[in-house]
Amino acid sequence: MSDLRTGQRVETMVTGRRGDWLVWVMVLMLAVYLAGLVLPVDGLRPFVNGWLGTITQWIPAVLCWRAVYRTGFRRMIVLLAAGAVTVFASANNYYLLVLGDGVALSFPSPADFGYLLFYPLMLGSLAILVHRQLRALPPAVSLDSAVGALGVAAVLAAVLSPTLLAAQAGEFTFGTAFATAFPLFDLVLVAAVVGVASARGLDVGVRWGILVCGLLVFAATALIYAEQVAVDTYAIGTVLDGGWAVGLTLIALWVDGLARPPGAVGRRLTGALSLIVPVVATASGVLVLVIGTQVRLSVLAVVLASVTLAGASLRTAVAFRDLGRMADLRRQVRTDDLTGLPNRRALYLDVPLRLGAGGQRSALMLLDLDRFKEVNDSLGHDVGDELLVQVGRRLADQLRPRDLLARLGGDEFAILLDEAGPAEAEALAATVQAALAEPFTLAGISLQTSVSVGIALYPEQSDNLTGLLRKADMAMYKAKAGGTGHHVYRSSDDSHGDSRLRTVQELRLALREDQLVLHYQPKIDLDTGQVNCVEALVRWQHPARGLLQPGRSPRNS
């Protein structure tokens, strides 16, 4: 099986290399044709205008049908593009053959039908490229695409206003409608290209830029041709004729890329272009309406410009809605759901910025409510939650506007005091303790609580939030253990903290290894001298420190 796959890959590579000669021939013939148009030689004009002109349009058609064959006739996007190039080349071939016989062509002629058929086939190919993806993109992207397409369509309609107005002024006939269809199709083609370019996130293939250039060159050539025909200045064999050959060659290169073996990563539209196009399109719509107040424009130009501005207004409304949602989401991410205070994430984002911005002294205070678990267990979590809300309000009332208060989780709060040293921090700790000592009324019950506060100083004790939190936490446990209410971190607290953590870890090991022993202490009736009962006491038989008495065991274990 692996040998078969290897053989298939080799065959694909060989076929690709053999097929590349057609691309090189196409490019070479185009270069020769363009040189013949730029540097005309009287004796070679029939060869350049006839044979070379025909060859440079049929080789792209052959390349497209080779792509159809390589895709097994299964990709409609390739079939439609190949059909578009082929009908145009056939129409041009018919046009040159009839002129060569000296026969005057009526309008519209079979050649004109072939030229016109190019547009719906090419637009169908573009539609297949994007229609499935557009449904999966956000509405804002679709709006960007629509505004971009409408804006460029409005500008082109304004440029084509003399042609469109002239067609409207005369008697409306089939020939007039047919002649008007060409510039309108050019308008739609360019608008479609710009609309696709405005849609961020579309996978347009690896040769999207080649297709854009090809379609824009083709449309520009057709528009200039229409203007020259209108004033009777068009002549066969000028540089303008090379525009169609260039456009078809670039389109054929794009189609050839669609048939290449998988492996090349498709290109997604991103970056400045997709963001700039809607803005420029909106400005273009405004410009067209302003010009319309000074110069007579076609009704189509005015309507397209008006619709562009309506679409831009809708896009602006969507943008403001999205910005509002993003702002709400950002607030939710940074806000504690229960108290409405900044949460731990906000603390970690804001404190480093504050510490690094001013460089002044600051104090970080860590607060923990005493016996909060008893409130939860006795009165329920709803009452405990309401207590936390009221505590948050009282804490906020004691702070300055520039101070930061955050709820870290559970019954823990943090306060960052700007421009504060140990004296200011201890003064605020005492104020906070007094404020929280006032009774709380919860569920018709008057409750009193207290708080333990640990204080760490910046930059003396740490120059980062992690270090400040660690040392404020040790100071808070020191305050809780000593019953002092608040405590400013000292270097000696580190050893006590390490010892406490080490003892707690050893106690976990003692539970697993049965180091806890049970002692029974008898209770004797002094009147009778008899043992009435016993009291069961747990003692820790430490492997290194011996039997530990209750005073040497961790208090919070």
pLDDT digits (tens, 9 = 90+) for 461-503: 888 999 999 999 999 988 888 888 899 998 777 655 566 667 7
Contact predicate 159/184, CB 8 Å: no
Whether pLDDT at 268 is above 60 = no
Question: In this structure, what are the phi and psi dihedrals at residue 342, rounded to the nearest 5 degrees?
Answer: -55, 145
The residues, any chain, with a CB within 8 Å of residue 109's CB and separated by 6 or more, are 94, 95, 98
- pLDDT of 175 reads 65
Torsion angle defined by CA atoms of residues 304, 307, 312 and 317, in that order, rounded to the nearest 10 degrees: 180
What is the band of 102 on the pLDDT scale with cuts at 50, 70, 90? low
Q: Which of 459, 492, 499, 463 lies closest to 475, judged by CA?
A: 492
Distance of CA 427 to the CA centre of its chain: 48
Whether pLDDT at 414 is above 80 = yes
Helix then strand count (H, E) for the chain reads 18, 10
Distance of CA 448 to the CA centre of its chain: 50
State the distance between the two ends of the chain, measured CA to CA, in whole angstroms.
65
DSSP for residue 39: S
Whether pLDDT at 5 is above 60 = no
Spelled out in words, what is the top-level CATH class assigned to the domain 344-489?
alpha beta
Range from 40-49, 98-107, 202-211, 292-301 that averages highest in pLDDT: 292-301
The residues, any chain, with a CB within 8 Å of residue 369's CB and separated by 6 or more, are 387, 391, 411, 436, 449, 450, 451
Whether pLDDT at 444 is above 50 = yes
